[in-house]
């Protein structure tokens, strides 16, 4: 075998060694006694399948302050700033920033990212840049790209044609932004068009859906119905879904089973939406995250995404999915032990499921895993500790020393 990870602990508390040969896991058992090219000592440390970010914008990342900072903190000012930036940035700059971010993300144990890419940039530099990045990182990091018409499927001139052009160029997933179209009717029409296009081409769908505090923004209902009509069950995700926070409870009681029936996944983005939403409220201010515990209880697959790291919408972010889950469990009031464990799954196993990845700590799965300087998932969420060792497809791609803390104080 090539790598043997010795003495680790799995998320459920069982002790395990993990053997990797080539790019696959070949054994997971308590005491594997065999020769290996490389031994990774994980004594008592948590071994997890990789972190996965199911919602990101890599064409905008690390551009904070260009052309200026977002003073209102709103989605709409962010979109306006991005509009200005995309007219001036070059393909080379986008590639450089994206690769910088990918290095940081791998160091934090992220081995797959679904990134939306704005296809309404007339120069198409964003799409060309991220296709190049996808190719350059592919041996380590799975980058899935979504054809995202930021300025609207119909509202942007030629928006639909640009989505098709991006898919023709090799972008993986059909995107959309129905709440940003001119009217509710055009938003619903864009959802229908996106689902039909995905069905025609055998692709997945991931829409920015109802990223609004408006309780009447109900495009998720159309998305679920169109998913069923087009036979796309299990291949569709609704990202953000923040309007659900403000919807009438009676309506939501009908909506949740429909989302579950359609097997539409939900991808809330707690770091960004706790800052973008509720901006027009006085007090009390709404939390602006979708109804995570209720979606889970209805049987919907839910993953937390990061959305932004230092870009026109969000000034912070570090590529650490444990920060994302930490914020998500706070906003969702998910502090029961099972809920916290679920929050950990929502940045590892659940997004991998949504993206159709072969991660998982079992024989036959990809030889990709992370050793954390923590004993279990709850401790990992509490401490957000060093990723001691990151292995991607049978290759060690990052090591971090545990934090040394030597307080010079006596009590």
Distance of CA 362 to the CA centre of its chain: 23
Q: How far is the CB of 254 from Fe ion (least distance, A)?
A: 27
Q: How many residues form the binding site for Fe ion (CB under 5 A)?
A: 1
Q: What is the DSSP letter of 357?
A: -
394-397 contacts, C-beta under 8 A, 24 or more apart: 394/2, 394/3, 394/20, 394/21, 394/22, 394/23, 394/24, 394/367, 395/139, 395/140, 396/3, 396/38, 396/40, 397/106, 397/140
Q: Which is nearer to Fe ion, 307 or 345 (CB)?
A: 307
- Collapsed DSSP state (helix, strand, coil) of residue 6: strand
179-182 contacts, C-beta under 8 A, 24 or more apart: 179/208, 179/209, 179/210, 179/211, 179/212, 179/214, 179/217, 179/219, 179/243, 180/79, 180/151, 180/152, 180/155, 180/208, 181/152, 181/153, 181/154, 181/155, 182/152, 182/154, 182/155
- In the set 211, 221, 226, 353, the catalytic residue is 211
Q: What is the DSSP letter of 213?
A: S
Window 296 to 355, contacts with Fe ion (CB under 5 A) = 307
Q: How far is the CB of 306 from Fe ion (least distance, A)?
A: 9
Query: Residue 232 and residue 229: Cα distance in Å, rounded?
Result: 8
Window 19 to 48, contacts with Fe ion (CB under 5 A) = none
Q: What is the DSSP letter of 200?
A: H
Q: Which is nearer to Fe ion, 307 or 323 (CB)?
A: 307
For the chain, how long is the longest CA-to-CA vector? 69
Q: How far is the CB of 159 from Fe ion (least distance, A)?
A: 16
Q: How far is the CB of 205 from Fe ion (least distance, A)?
A: 14
Q: Which is nearer to Fe ion, 317 or 377 (CB)?
A: 317
- Collapsed DSSP state (helix, strand, coil) of residue 67: coil
What binding mask, one character per residue, do residues 251-290 give for Fe ion by CB under 5 A, x or -? ----------------------------------------
Query: Using the rule CB under 5 A, is 206 a contact of Fe ion?
Result: no
The neighbour count for residue 239, using CB atoms within 10 Å, is 29
Q: How far is the CB of 338 from Fe ion (least distance, A)?
A: 28
Q: How far is the CB of 22 from Fe ion (least distance, A)?
A: 36
- Closest residue to Fe ion, judged by C-beta, is 307
Angle of the 159-169 helix axis to the 184-201 helix axis, nearest 10: 20
Q: Which is nearer to Fe ion, 275 or 392 (CB)?
A: 275
Q: Is 383 left (phi over 0), alpha (psi -120 to 50) or beta?
A: alpha
Q: Which is nearer to Fe ion, 2 or 307 (CB)?
A: 307
Q: How far is the CB of 369 from Fe ion (least distance, A)?
A: 28
Q: How far is the CB of 81 from Fe ion (least distance, A)?
A: 15
Would you call 128 a catalytic residue per the annotation? Answer: no
The neighbour count for residue 353, using CB atoms within 10 Å, is 18
- Give the strand pairing for 38-41 and 264-267: unpaired
Sign, CA torsion 195/201/202/205: negative
Q: Which is nearer to Fe ion, 53 or 307 (CB)?
A: 307
CA-derived radius of gyration, the chain: 21
Q: Which is nearer to Fe ion, 54 or 106 (CB)?
A: 54
Q: Which is nearer to Fe ion, 57 or 108 (CB)?
A: 57
Query: Residue 277 and residue 381: Cα distance in Å, rounded?
Result: 24
Enumerate the active-site residues.
211
Residues at the contact surface with Fe ion, assessed by CB under 5 A = 307
């Amino acid at each position: 075998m090539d790598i043997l990870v010795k003495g680790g602990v799995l998320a459920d508390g069982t002790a395990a060694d993990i053997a990797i040969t080539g790019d696959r896991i070949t054994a997971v058992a308590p005491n594997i006694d065999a020769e290996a090219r490389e031994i990774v000592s994980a004594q008592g440390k948590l071994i997890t399948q990789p972190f996965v970010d199911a919602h990101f914008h890599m064409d905008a990342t690390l551009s904070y302050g260009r052309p200026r900072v977002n003073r209102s903190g709103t989605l709409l000012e962010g979109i306006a700033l991005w509009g200005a930036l995309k007219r001036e940035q070059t393909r080379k700059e986008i590639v450089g920033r994206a690769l910088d971010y990918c290095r940081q993300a791998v160091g934090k144990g992220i081995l797959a990212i679904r990134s939306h890419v704005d296809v309404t940039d007339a120069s198409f530099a964003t799409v060309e840049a991220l296709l190049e990045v996808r190719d350059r990182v592919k041996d380590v990091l799975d980058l899935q790209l979504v054809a995202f018409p930021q300025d609207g499927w119909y509202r942007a001139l030629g928006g639909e044609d640009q989505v098709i052009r991006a898919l023709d160029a090799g972008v993986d997933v059909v995107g959309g932004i129905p709440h940003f179209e001119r009217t509710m009717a055009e938003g619903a029409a864009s959802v229908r068009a996106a689902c039909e296009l995905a069905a025609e081409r055998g692709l997945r769908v991931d829409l920015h859906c109802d990223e609004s505090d408006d309780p009447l923004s109900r495009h998720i209902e159309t998305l679920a119905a169109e998913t069923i009509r087009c036979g796309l069950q299990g291949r569709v995700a609704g990202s953000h879904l923040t309007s659900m926070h403000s919807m009438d409870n009676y309506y939501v009681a009908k909506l949740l089973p429909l989302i579950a029936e359609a097997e539409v996944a939900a991808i809330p983005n707690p770091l960004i939406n706790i800052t973008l939403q509720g901006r027009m409220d006085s007090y009390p201010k709404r939390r602006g995250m979708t109804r995570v515990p209720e979606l889970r209880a209805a049987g919907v697959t839910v993953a937390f995404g990061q959305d932004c790291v230092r870009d026109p919408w969000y000034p912070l972010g570090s590529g650490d999915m444990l920060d994302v889950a930490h914020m998500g469990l706070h906003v969702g009031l998910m502090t029961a032990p099972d809920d916290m464990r679920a929050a950990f799954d929502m940045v590892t196993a659940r997004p991998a499921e949504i993206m159709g990845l072969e991660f998982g700590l079992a024989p036959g799965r990809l030889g990709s895993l992370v050793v954390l300087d923590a004993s279990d998932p709850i401790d990992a969420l509490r401490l957000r500790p060093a990723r001691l060792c990151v292995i991607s497809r049978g290759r060690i791609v990052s090591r971090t020393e545990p934090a040394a803390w030597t307080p010079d104080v006596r009590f």
